[in-house]
Structure 1
């Protein structure tokens, strides 16, 4: 974990409530896709944990969905704003365990860490299939970005306005050759993907309300087959075999 100041370089609106933020700063503490940062906002007691979408040596990219006053303030920050950031938090996905043809499954804002993951997997010679789920076509984002990586891209929308009508699990059933999943999204989606019989193994990114964000307060503990684990410190990535519902 490292505490440092990052400078907001630009903000781009992707949908009605989803934004891309690029910040410049020291990213040396970030070691794997799937980790997150914890951002201090002026006048707010608790930091806001945000999953890392992608990063370079000197820049950090975040996808932020507005869900309350804190995230609304964050996306309204003007370029040049300095933000106090804890970086390199949590563990990350381990692409080496995923084999040559895994499926990356994301729902809504949960697709954020999958972009940096997909890029690094492609660079390593892996060929992931990316399955993304949204409520409707107007809620979809980052499709061109994933396609530009050369990934096979499958889309599901609940209303059928784009891609397959249904859920991300319906997309995964169409690729029976994929038996390993790396997944991030809302809890009902994680549970549904976890239950698919074709997926013999996988890694799942969990969310929880956090106090400190680095394992001290124990406020984000959840039960696993190996006892209670802290989502912020021992997670957010958990392996399929250790998850209990």
Structure 2
């Protein structure tokens, strides 16, 4: 974990409620896809945990959805604003278990970490396939960015306005040759994927957090191996250890 000052380079809407923010700063503490950052906002007591979409040596990219006062405030920030950010939080995904044809499944605001994961797997010579799930076409984002990586992309929307009508699980049931799966999204989606997937996998949990680095124990969850802190021992857990 590292505390650094980042400067907002851009903050733009992708949909009515989802924005992409690019920040300049020290990203050296980020070591794996699936990790998150914790952002201090003026006038708010708790930091806001946001998953990492992408990063390089000088910039950090996050995608976030406006769901409350904190993210609403974040959406108003213009280029040049400085933010106090904790980076390198969480365990991230372990790509050594992926096999050659892993399946990456993102639902809603669980989509962003799949992007960097796809890039990492491609760099390792793997051939990932991606499933993105949204409620409607109007809420869909980053589909073109994934396709630009050269990976197969499937889209599911609950109302059928784009791609397969239904949920990401409906697409998973049609795919048989994947070697492993990685996912991030709402808990009901994670549970459903655990039930329908035919391989082992890693699931990233979205959880309300206090400190974000394991001190407060506010985001503990029960696993087959005892209580684990989503912020410190997670947010990524393996399919076999989860107690639903």
**TM-score above 0.5, yes or no:** yes
Partner of 2:232: 233
Partner of 1:147: 147
Partner of 1:207: 206
State the alpha-carbon separation in 2 of the partners of residues 236 and 201 from structure 1. Answer: 17
State the alpha-carbon separation in 1 of the partners of residues 171 and 79 from structure 2. Answer: 38
Conserved? CA contact 2:12–2:21, under 8 Å: yes
State the alpha-carbon separation in 1 of the partners of residues 101 and 25 from structure 2. Answer: 34
State the alpha-carbon separation in 1 of the partners of residues 75 and 89 from structure 2. Answer: 21
State the alpha-carbon separation in 1 of the partners of residues 57 and 186 from structure 2. Answer: 30
Partner of 1:187: 187
Deviation digits for residues 33-91 of structure 1 (CA, Å, limit 9, x no counterpart): 00000000001100000000010011000001000010011111010000000000010
Deviation digits for residues 117-156 of structure 1 (CA, Å, limit 9, x no counterpart): 0011111111111011100111100000000001110110
Deviation digits for residues 164-206 of structure 1 (CA, Å, limit 9, x no counterpart): 000001111111111411000001000000101x422000001
Partner of 1:42: 42
SS where residue 105 of structure 1 aligns? strand
The alignment's C-alpha RMSD in Å is: 0.7
Conserved? CA contact 1:181–1:199, under 8 Å: no
Conserved? CA contact 2:23–2:60, under 8 Å: yes
Partner of 1:136: 136
SS where residue 71 of structure 1 aligns? helix
What is the TM-score when the length of structure 2 is the normalising length? Answer: 0.99
State the alpha-carbon separation in 1 of the partners of residues 115 and 3 from structure 2. Answer: 24
Unaligned runs of 5+ in 1: none
Deviation digits for residues 81-115 of structure 1 (CA, Å, limit 9, x no counterpart): 00000000010001121110010011001001000
Structure 1: 4+ residue segments shifted above 4 A: none
State the alpha-carbon separation in 2 of the partners of residues 231 and 148 from structure 1. Answer: 32
Unaligned runs of 5+ in 2: none
Aligned length: 244
Partner of 1:222: 221
Q: How does 1:1-245 map to 2 (within 5 A)?
A: 1-196=1-196, 198-245=197-244
Conserved? CA contact 1:34–1:237, under 8 Å: yes
Conserved? CA contact 1:225–1:242, under 8 Å: yes
State the alpha-carbon separation in 1 of the partners of residues 221 and 36 from structure 2. Answer: 18
State the alpha-carbon separation in 2 of the partners of residues 147 and 117 from structure 1. Answer: 14
